[in-house]
Amino acid sequence: MRLKKVARMLTLMLVLALGTPGVLAQGDLPIYDNYIVLDVQDLPLRAGSPIQSSAHLSPDGTRFVYVDGSTFCFYMLDDNNVWVEEACTELDREISGRDTEEIYWSPDGQWLTLPTYREAFLFINDTDIRILNTETFEAVVLTQDQTTGTPIDPDYSGFFDVAPQWLDDDTLLFLRYIPDDDLGYAHLMHIDLSGSEPQEIAALTAPRRLSIYLIAASRASSEVAYNINDFGSAPENGIWTMGLDNLEPEQAVAIEEEPDRPQNLAYSANGSYLLNITARGMVYGTTVSSVEVVDPATGEIIPFDDSQIVIGAGWSPEGNALAYLVNNPENPESSGLYISPAPGAPGHLVLAGQFAPPTSSQRMPLVWANNDTILIGNRAEGILLIRVGVK
């Protein structure tokens, strides 16, 4: 009963904050088929593979953070709409998570999540949920359990907290593993920034411990998605979804081949679709598309154009349009940034070039900000900040 009460509270919070899903009429959405590039600014900041640095655009598109190791440099649009450096701060390596991915802006742009994936799943070290204030540069530990060490140590007694995702301006979801939990559940938790203790929403089952390490949250549909990957052939492997109003997990799609399993998941703005960023790019390089769209209601996998190699994608700030990057070595003139009005619909090339996602392991979705700015990596020169729209 307590879990259902928490879920109802979360659903109410979502409705109060964002209104009832579906209120926005389809006719009120931009006509993405008519979108073109209105402005491009390039900065000499190398971001993306194989460079171990990343750039992350804020939701409103007026700031971005450039992360190089444990150095976080913030950039802003000045009064002339020119990108300028704002300030830099150096974080302790432990606090920074020794990674430049898994960094998400809060919807209001005040906070950044700090990475947990590398520290947790590569180094198998104790992890806490940490956030960085983007104005004061203060790092805040939200789930400090006063424990260090590794969860594989029999004497480890802390909580293994990973995969933070924003639910709203003041609320984070994350996964918690508890060492003495023999069932190996991943506990889906939420915590608000008021200083209260984390609260459990649901215990998610999997074939083995640490099989769940990704979550995505949709404020529009009051739903969460997560992965199961036991690195074997368990039938549970794939993408699962769960409504915050009923807490009943369902397997949206079973995924047999390990390269096809998620490296990251992201909901469309209207909550209707999921972007699946697979491991194909790490396994096969740029010879195959590494991203695809999933309809969680039907389990249908909606690929991009089969004739194109898509290496990165992200959702529009409204509806379910897509910005995506094509890298076609055999037909380089077709490479560049595309916009599609909906999953499965043909996209059109808005900017030709050899581009890449602006993160070191290319596990993050592209960010298409509320002001129609898109940040991508330019393999030749640095990063590009592209403003799109209708002329």
- For 289, the 3-state DSSP assignment is coil
315-373 pLDDT tens trace: 999 999 999 999 988 888 999 999 999 999 999 999 999 999 999 888 999 999 999 99
Region 82-95 average pLDDT: 90
**Residue 182 clears pLDDT 70, i.e. is over it:** no
Which residues pair with residue 40 across a beta bridge? Answer: 386
Domain spans in the chain, listed from the N-terminal domain onward: 2-389
Which amino acid does the sequence have at 241?
A: T
Region 112-135 average pLDDT: 88
Q: Classify burial at 321, counting beta carbons within 10 Å of its beta carbon; exposed 0-12, middle 13-18, buried 19 or more.
A: buried
The pLDDT value given to residue 184 = 65
Average pLDDT value over all residues in the chain:
87
The answer to whether 369 and 57 are in contact (CB under 8 A) is yes
The pLDDT value given to residue 23 = 33
**Residue 65 clears pLDDT 80, i.e. is over it:** yes
pTM of the model: 0.89
- In this structure, of 193-197, 199-203, 233-237, 295-299, the range with the lowest mean pLDDT score is 193-197
Residue in the structure block whose two tokens are 């976080």: 72
Tokens of 111: 């906070």
The pLDDT value given to residue 88 = 97
Region 13-34 average pLDDT: 56
189-230 pLDDT tens trace: 999 998 789 999 999 999 888 899 999 999 899 999 999 998
Q: Classify burial at 129, counting beta carbons within 10 Å of its beta carbon; exposed 0-12, middle 13-18, buried 19 or more.
A: buried
Q: Which one is the CATH code of 2-389: 2.130.10.10, 3.30.420.10, 3.50.50.60, 3.40.50.261? A: 2.130.10.10
